[in-house]
């Protein structure tokens, strides 16, 4: 008949004195406490391991782990054994998972997410997204394991951005963080997306349009441009005049290579890959954009070719001719003209749309196609190319002549 083991008492454990050699006091069902010669008292549990004899688990040191807590750990181990789970392997797996979670910091997961998204983004989007994270988020929460980031941590980081007046940036970064936490859920690192609940923590940003002068202000703008001609580099001046004449998007103009321009035929066709809708990852518009050139625009391009025609771009960067002109150069020129906050490169598009409709009487559809806005469907796209190109050429010449008349 097996010897009956009496459960330990807290007094018995507390009064146990160290001996020359390690000895143990048994509580029953595999649980015992070892008394070390140093006086340390360690909880252990012996359990049968299938095919490998007995194994042992350590539950920690007494009195940090009390008698009651040690018994609770024993009970949890017994439950695992009843389920056929090896407690030793279960313990090791928990340690491994905890280590993995601890090493998966917000920055590490964010960079992994970013790397997965890069193939679907434009180079500018990829660069700007990572740069925003590196400047504003990684210094605040990047070192924290992603599952330990609290609402308060993220809110503080976002409001720090907001406090410097960058309200739109704060909203954009919050949307990025939401995607990163969603990715963390998908790869099993956390169970809740804390950014998904943050609908009202930032101040509401009213949608705003790009600054643009109106039609009545156009004569004064042209006069200011004439007054400031001597203060501008010739390519910058030509760039501003071309933006007014052809009103393509700023990036589509300053990033134009000479290879797209046929000065002999007077033609300029922008490949669809460079157009805004051509860069979409889902259903990109594969329609090349015909930039209808007036006589005035063609004359400016020929003048520009004598200056920059030996290089790659129409408007090379002054510091590095292998790169195109910076959009900031356009904004700075407008600022020197006294139009800071009143006019932008994109504003020329709004100005042209309004003026051509109101003063020249052209239909919205014709102007819209010249602006390379999205047609409603592929059939309409094909129709636009066939039906509006001739009208657009006439319209663009009329627009250039109207500007000359002012």
Catalytic residue among 29, 44, 342, 383, which? Answer: 383
- Known active-site residue 383: yes
Structure tokens at 115: 């790397």
Structure tokens at 393: 């050429």
| Interaxial angle between packed helices 123-132 and 106-117, expressed in degrees from 0 to 180 and rounded to the nearest 10 | 170
From the list 348, 355, 344, the residue with the least C-alpha distance to 399 is 355
261-262 vs 53-62, strand pairing mode: unpaired
- Known active-site residue 305: no
* 3-class secondary-structure state, position 102: helix
Q: Please, are residues 359 and 215 in contact by the beta-carbon 8 Å criterion?
A: yes
From the list 87, 97, 84, the residue with the least C-alpha distance to 45 is 87
Please give the backbone phi and psi of residue 324, each rounded to the nearest 5 degrees, phi first: -80, 170
Q: What is the DSSP string of 303-326?
A: HHHHHHTTSSBSSB-SS-TTSBPP
- Known active-site residue 147: no
Catalytic residue among 241, 290, 349, 392, which? Answer: 349
Distance of alpha carbon 245 from alpha carbon 396, whole angstroms: 8
Structure tokens at 78: 């017994």
Catalytic residue among 41, 73, 241, 249, which? Answer: 249
Beta-bridge partners for 32: 26, 44
Q: Please, are residues 301 and 264 in contact by the beta-carbon 8 Å criterion?
A: no
Helix (H) or strand (E) holding 55: strand 53-62
Catalytic residue among 101, 276, 279, 332, which? Answer: 276
Catalytic residue among 346, 369, 388, 392, which? Answer: 346
- Known active-site residue 349: yes
Catalytic residue among 305, 373, 385, 393, which? Answer: 373
From the list 38, 30, 33, the residue with the least C-alpha distance to 12 is 33
Residues with catalytic annotation? 249, 276, 346, 349, 373, 383
């Amino acid at each position: 008949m097996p010897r009956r083991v009496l459960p330990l008492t807290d007094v018995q454990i507390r009064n146990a004195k160290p001996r020359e050699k390690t000895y143990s006091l048994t509580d029953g069902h595999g649980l015992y406490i070892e008394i070390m010669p140093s006086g340390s008292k360690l909880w252990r549990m012996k359990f049968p391991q299938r095919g490998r004899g007995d194994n042992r688990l350590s539950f920690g040191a007494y009195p940090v782990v009390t008698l009651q807590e040690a018994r609770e750990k024993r009970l949890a181990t017994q439950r695992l054994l009843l389920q056929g789970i090896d407690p030793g392997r279960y313990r090791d797996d928990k340690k491994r998972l905890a280590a993995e979670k601890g090493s998966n910091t917000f920055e590490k997961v964010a960079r992994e997410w970013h790397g997965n998204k890069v193939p679907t983004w434009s180079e500018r989007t990829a660069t700007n997204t990572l740069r925003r994270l590196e400047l504003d988020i990684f210094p605040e929460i990047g070192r924290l394991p992603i599952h330990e980031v609290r609402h308060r941590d993220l809110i503080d980081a976002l409001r720090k951005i907001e406090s410097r007046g960058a309200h739109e940036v704060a909203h954009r970064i919050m949307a990025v963080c939401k995607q990163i936490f969603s990715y963390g859920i998908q790869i099993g690192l956390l169970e809740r997306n804390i950014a998904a609940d943050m609908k009202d923590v930032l101040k509401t940003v009213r949608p705003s349009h790009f600054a643009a002068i109106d039609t009545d202000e156009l004569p004064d703008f042209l006069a200011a441009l004439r007054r400031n001609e001597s203060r501008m580099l010739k390519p910058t001046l030509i760039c501003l005049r071309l933006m007014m004449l052809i009103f393509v998007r700023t990036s589509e103009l300053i990033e134009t290579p000479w290879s797209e321009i046929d000065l002999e035929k007077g033609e300029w066709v922008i490949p669809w890959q460079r157009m805004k809708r051509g860069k979409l990852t889902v259903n990109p518009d594969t329609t090349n954009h015909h930039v209808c050139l007036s006589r005035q625009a063609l004359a400016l391009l020929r003048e520009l070719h004598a200056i920059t025609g030996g290089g790659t771009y129409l408007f090379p960067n002054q510091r590095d001719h292998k790169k195109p002109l910076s959009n900031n150069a356009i904004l700075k020129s407008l600022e020197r003209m006294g139009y800071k906050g009143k006019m932008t490169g994109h504003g020329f598009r709004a100005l042209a749309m309004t003026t051509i409709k109101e003063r020249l009487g052209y239909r919205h559809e014709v102007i819209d196609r010249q602006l390379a806005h999205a047609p409603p469907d592929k059939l309409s796209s094909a129709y636009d190319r066939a039906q509006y190109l001739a009208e657009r050429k006439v319209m663009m010449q009329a627009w250039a002549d109207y500007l000359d008349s002012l």
